[in-house]
Amino acid sequence: MPELTPTKLFLKDMDVLASNHAVHGKIIKALSLLRHNPFHPGMRLERIVNDPSAWSIRVDRRYRISIDPKAYQVSGVPDWNAGIILLRMLDHDDLYKKPR
pLDDT along the chain (100 residues), means of 10: 92 89 90 91 91 92 95 89 94 92
| Residue 95 and residue 15 in contact, taking contact as beta carbons nearer than 8 Å | no
| pLDDT, position 91 | 93
Q: What is the DSSP letter of 79?
A: -
Tell me which amino acid residue 17 is: L
| pLDDT, position 42 | 87
| pLDDT, position 39 | 87
**Kind and range of the H or E run holding 91:** strand 84-91
For the structural domain made of 4-97, what CATH number should be given? 3.30.2310.20
| pLDDT, position 55 | 95
Q: Identify the CA nearest to 45 among candidates 78, 3, 9.
A: 78
